[in-house]
Amino acid sequence: MKRNVLISIMSMCAVVLLSAVVSCERRLPDVNPGGPDSPDDSSAVTPADTLESLGTYVFGADTCDIHVLRLEENESYVYLFISPLAPGGELSTYAVFGLRRYWCDGEEHDVNDVLNPLDHNDDYYFVYEDPVYFYSQYRAFQEGTVRMSVSEDWMVRLSLDVLLIDGTPFSIEISRTVPPEGSGI
């Protein structure tokens, strides 16, 4: 009985360890979205390593190219959605960062500034998800800085350099035009 339990635990640990070594490049979909038996190869997802990089981000020790970059806005917040995966496939790895417009002034802000801190439930929003990790929007950064601005012509400048709740570093530097979804551009 103890031997079976031990073998089960060891098997589960092996699966978890194998999953943990998956890198950003290995998470790319390589199948035809129409299904493996679909005769139409024109709908196949383009491998991300053949696409132009829209920037990079760092998660832990991995530097990942950005291949999907979307801007969403409302009256109160500006959100940036990024993914290292090829557009058109399932985006199982992504990060979303949102900042209250008040703080989108192009100045650097310390997330733990004693006199004027960014409140993680009110001033910023962050979610990271991949097949191994999930960081909820309800968890504050340990420390770090953010600088963000969006001009009238949708030039987005974002510098985010933070430690996530478990001490994992996450950083992104973007400076490019990103029209919002549905803008027709």
The Cβ of residue 143 has, within 10 Å, a number of other Cβ atoms equal to 12
Task: Look at 20-34, 44-58, 93-107, 164-178 and tell me which has the smallest mean pLDDT.
Answer: 20-34
Domain boundaries, the chain: 2-177
pTM of the model: 0.70
Structure confidence at residue 1 as a pLDDT band (50, 70, 90): low
**CA 180 distance to own-chain centroid:** 17
- Alpha-carbon span 66 to 85, nearest angstrom: 7
Q: Rounded CA gap, 107 and 157, in Å?
A: 11
